[in-house]
Structure 1
Amino acid sequence: MDAPYVPTLYGAVGVGLPAWGVVSLAADGLTPAPWALIIGCLALVSAGLYMYATRRGKFVVWERLLDELALRGDERILDLGCGRGAVLLTAARRIPEGRAYGVDLWRSQDQSGNDPAVTERNAQAEGVADRMELHTADMTRLPFERDRFDVVVSSLAIHNISDPAGRASAIEEAVRVLRPGGRLVLADIRNTRQYGACLQRLGLHDITRRGAGARMWWSGPWMPTSVVTGTKPSRVAAGEGTARP
């Protein structure tokens, strides 16, 4: 579950406010305040939407995003902030002749049960452990050489970097390790305009930013997910190819 404290908080509010109203009615004969019941119901709905997004919705969305890449099956794919492998393993299933790499700091506040051993077990269960590698690394300082990957993806991870400079560094690293002609797909709940601006500054083309849809509403339409994509120019397009006579 992503950020498990969030649905826990919504659930506590959703149960606590109506319960307070019932106790007040029983103890003092006071009619429960309408706002308490309304807010309590909204909190429970928000908790339900959040649970759907984290347990089912994000998987459906990422299946569609990976479909759009039309992978050949032999790519090298990097997942920034891979967690328990929701996106990483979905990508690995699509590249029987390729390799999927995941990096994470494995913090439980970002995702419940966030541990490389859990991701390894999930990979074994999915039958993709032989085509996957996990690395403990900061996405602002990736342990990979330049131009290594055909595709770089990230789901709900870069926003965990608190400062704009750090987020920009993560985008710069993602572009650095992406091969010329490679594609980048970033899904996040905040800062996606900054991501797009960074990609534009770094010279990527075909940059898009769009909503992921209701399946990735994190409690409601006030917290949607946006998807930013871009393609790294080829060396020739970037002026790095053989000079013309």
Structure 2
Amino acid sequence: MGKSTSRDWTQIYSIYGIDQWQTLIFLLCQAILFAVLSVLYLLYFEPICVFFERLLSAAAVPAVSARFAAGFTGSVTALSALCLFFAAANFFYSSVPLHYDMAQRMVSAVTDWSSVKLALDLGCCGRGILLNAVATQLKKEGSSGRVVGLDGSKRETLSTLRNAKMEGVGEYVTCRDGDARRLPFPDDYFDVVVSGVFVHTVGREYGPHTVEASAERMRAMGEVVRVLKPGGIGVVWDLVHVPEYVRRLQEMKMEDIRVSERVTAFMVGSHIVSFRKPSQQVMGPGEVRLDWRSC
């Protein structure tokens, strides 16, 4: 959210922290290592050239080739350092600022929150960023509604509830354990279902690009539709596999399917897809629209 002040971002980071901080530290350490190697190549280029000459002399390679090999290796090392620093910066940005911004966009995809009594955050990722965005919107509308966060980790659930209290929306939030492929809720239960960078993790035990994993993701999308009330709104922000979700939603005859422009998150492409469950059964293929307002 570009209008947030530096103080606002300080508060946001203090509440939510960084998910998967081990990955960020790993990327930074690798970037620093390659940067140091690049500096050493620059400072000791001539001795390195001599080393390459001796290394390649056994193969009767010309001396000029040794200098080229040394320069090429140093260039690759420097480029690797730059790429790793960029990856670390993108991971840092995607974990909180982008996640927070996308949560606001997802909330804005629902035009009328005053009539929402029950909402579901499937996956409840990011330590409750999206969950609390929904709860904040319910509080702003003066609604008596509640939002349920579904997460399979008890440790993350405690963190999520603590963050909701820090945001002042604890009374609007509850959490439950469950499997996204078999949601512990009856049919036609929620007015709104949202999910942020979660569905792509469903079925990952089979590998990210297997038929089995794709079937598990489609099962999760089917569960999202099942628990939505007729006329209910679903909003999913996810990585890589959004075209699969769109096809599945078309097969299930969802209405008003909208796909946002591509947004790079965690170094891959992501999109927001929103849809509405028909109030009555609809025949024929669903229509898909690119909704640039969601971007």
| Residue 29 (structure 1) aligns with | 47
Q: For the aligned residues, what is the CA RMSD? A: 2.2
Name the CA distance, whole Å, in 2 between partners of 1:64 and 1:205: 20
How far the C-alpha of 1:104 sits from its partner, in A, is 1.0
> Can you give the 5+ residue segments of structure 2 that lack an aligned partner in the other structure?
1-17, 49-70, 205-212, 284-295
Question: Shift in Å at residue 41 of structure 1?
Answer: 1.1
8 A Cα contact 1:106 1:116, kept in partner = yes
- Please list the CA deviations of residues 166-214 of structure 1 after superposition, one character each: whole Å capped at 9, or x if unmatched: 101100100000000011111111211111111111110111222353x
1-structure distance, mates of 2:104, 2:29: 32
Residue 74 of structure 1 deviates from its aligned partner by: 4.4
Whether contact under 8 Å (1:61, 1:212) holds in the other structure is no
Match of 2:3 in 1: none
Matching residue of 1:18:
35
Q: Of residues 134, 146, 164 in structure 2, which corresponds to 1:99?
A: 146
Cα distance in 1, alignment partners of residues 130 and 90 from structure 2 = 20
Following the alignment from structure 1 to structure 2, what is the Cα–Cα distance between the partners of residues 80 and 63?
16
Is the 2:242–2:270 Cα contact (8 Å) retained in structure 1? no
How far is 1:65 from its partner? 2.4
Counterpart contact for 2:109–2:235, Cα < 8 Å: no
1:79 paired to 2:124: no
Q: Which has the bigger relative contact order, CA under 8 A and spacing at least 6? A: 1
How far the C-alpha of 1:119 sits from its partner, in A, is 0.8
Structure (1 or 2) with the larger CA radius of gyration: 2
Show CA shifts across 1:58-90 (max 9, x none): 211221221231233341110111031110011
- Tell me if the contact between 2:27 and 2:85 (Cα under 8 Å) persists in the aligned partners: yes
Identical amino acids, percent of aligned pairs: 27
- Say which structure is richer in helix: 2
* 3-state SS, counterpart of residue 211 of structure 1: coil
Task: Name 1:231's counterpart in structure 2.
Answer: 276
Q: Does residue 202 of the first structure (1) align with residue 252 of the second (2)?
A: yes
1:5 positional shift: 4.4
**In 2: Cα distance, 1:174 partner to 1:54 partner:** 24
Partner of 1:56: 97
Query: Does 2:221 match 1:171?
Result: yes
TM-score normalised by the chain length of structure 1:
0.84
Q: Deviations over 1:144-165 (max 9, x none)?
A: 0110111111000011122011
Residue 243 of structure 1 corresponds to: none
Question: Which letter maps to 2:266?
Answer: W
Is structure 2 residue 137 aligned with structure 1 residue 90? Answer: no
Q: What is the Cα deviation at residue 28 of structure 1?
A: 8.4
Tell me the residue number matched to 2:265. Answer: 217
Matched-pair contact (CA < 8 Å) for 1:74–1:95: no
Query: Please, which runs of 5 or more residues in structure 1 have no aligned partner?
Result: 108-113, 240-245
Please report the TM-score for the alignment, with normalisation by the length of structure 2: 0.71
Structure 1 pair 92–125 and aligned structure 2 pair: CA distance change class (3 A): same
1:120-139: CA deviation from partner (whole Å, max 9, x where unpaired): 11111112111111001111
Number of residues paired by the alignment?
Answer: 227
Give the match's secondary structure for 1:122.
helix
